[in-house]
Structure 1
Amino acid sequence: MIMFILIISCLSAAAETPVSQPPEAFTASPFSGLIFIILVLLLISAAAAFQEFWLKGRLELIPLITSAPCDGTSTIPLKVQFVDPSGKPRKQLKDRNVEIRSTSGNVMKVVILKGEETAETELKSSNVCGIVTLEAKSGIQKANARVNFAGNVAGLVLEVAPSKIPADGISISSVTIKIKDDKGNFITSPDERIVEMSTSLGTVTSPVKIPPGTLSGIAILSSCMRTGTATITATFGSLHGEKKVVFEELAERYCMNCGDPMKREMTACPTCKKTPPPDTEIKECYSCSGVIPATAMFCDKCGAKQPV
């Protein structure tokens, strides 16, 4: 308010000051009025900012602990306050509303009551593990903080599709690797995770990278010319996970509806009882590049399941 009064006084004094030059000798610049308005607005903004920080202080958001389990129930206590230039909390002259937002979990807004220095609230964790960014806002002021929703890594889970492929040296099966906590929840990490892969038959891509913030990584298992059961093993630190994929003998052809082997002369699959889909529209098998009907769920040549 004091700064605003000073600005108004200066403007009034400037307006009342007589001009020594004759009016006809004075030529105003077309930009002088605009520059004058900009200067006034800058002074008013500076006065408002000075008043904001001087009366309220600088906003701070302080997590009282920096980590909690990503279980959807644990909480992290938060403290909000305004501090003076020396860092000392300042008592407020009136109630101050502070809104808080987070990139994960749930948090309520908080009010620092008149005459109080601080207020506290809680951030409730989510089931997504990783770094969480918090932002507090009051008026023109903002404050940020970071906490971690941590998970206790307890095991590896492998998922394969399909679980049976021909032993032809070209067919493949996808292996999805996920990490779970001690409560069975699949968890993410703020850091990249690297999982080593191996197989007893065929070949598998290794290592597999699980990117930050994602639940899984994918490896590709390629068959060999030998029949048998491939045991795929994933290793992450001291954790291990296994899954099996069967390399089957080559059949004369495969059902394009269910993928089971069948004799070439059969018109209907003995397993699903369906006939081959029409070939009015065609596509390439993603595994062996053979030409198959567009609606085929499996390739009749290599037996590979087709993407939906």
Structure 2
Amino acid sequence: MKANRQEPAMNERSEPTTGATEPLVGSRMDRRMDSATEAFVAHRSLLFTVAYEMLGSAADAEDVLQETWLRWMKVDLEQVRDQRAFLVRITTRRSLDRLRTMNRRKEDYVGSWLPEPLLTAPDVAEDVELAESVSMALMIVLETLSPTERAVFVLREAFGFSHDEIAAAVGKSPAAVRQIAHRAREHVDARRPRQEVAPNQVRAVLASFQRAYETRDLQGLLDVLAPQVVLISDGGGVKQASPRPITGAEKVARFIVGGLGKAGVVLTSEHTVVNGNPALVLRVNGEIDGVIAVDVEDARIAGLYYVRNPEKLTRIGSETPLTLRSTR
């Protein structure tokens, strides 16, 4: 992800209060409400994307947006020089608070934790920067950062904010933010996928994988899996899943074939776009069973991410708008 867009400065140093010297009444109140609502709606998809990239959970991101809206409605807009920047700051601070709470929840989570997959529109896949920033592979890497590192990395690398702007959002000095950004980037670069693979290549690999598991073709799976492939499955303690990552093509292939061997089960799958990247939706007897996202390197699957937790599959039925830019 490259921070190469010029965006308005995030230069408010504090969240101003209403600052009103007299009650807002009648048409003045209506105009203020209309203006505040218009601004929030214009930036809503951007704010959701910020919160989702920081949290990896659409449900928590929606809660953050609700908290942002409630805070925004108390702000005196005449004191806000940059509405977009101010809204991003509120969203970032609320996301940081929630991320720390989520990290405590994850300590009690049953099995491996994966980000919540989102069904996304084709235009997300066409935006290379956006598709990379919300890819399952990168979102999993972001889970290894501290809350502040994650916020700084997301705001800097995905959304292109300056160090000064980020400092105002996370409550650090610009010098500290610069160090955090450098450390986080090194950490992510050491763990993120090594190659950029075109969507059509990923779809071709997924098609080979699909044919192999639908026919229980063990050799076909071995042919499409990288020797050191890693499978992470998330059942949330509700659906069966491996309690820890499985590494190695043969172990992963046998786990997949063994898991598909249940009598009386009709398994189907379909290609889709999840988090801006090609993926598969699996159905058992016509009902959604899970989502498979992949990381492809050298025409083979190096990372296999299978989300089965029903609570994380609610966004597969309809597209979720994501963007790195506001509508105005």
Taking structure 2 as the reference length, what is the TM-score of the superposition? 0.21
More helix by share: 2
More strand by share: 1
TM-score w.r.t. length of structure 1: 0.22
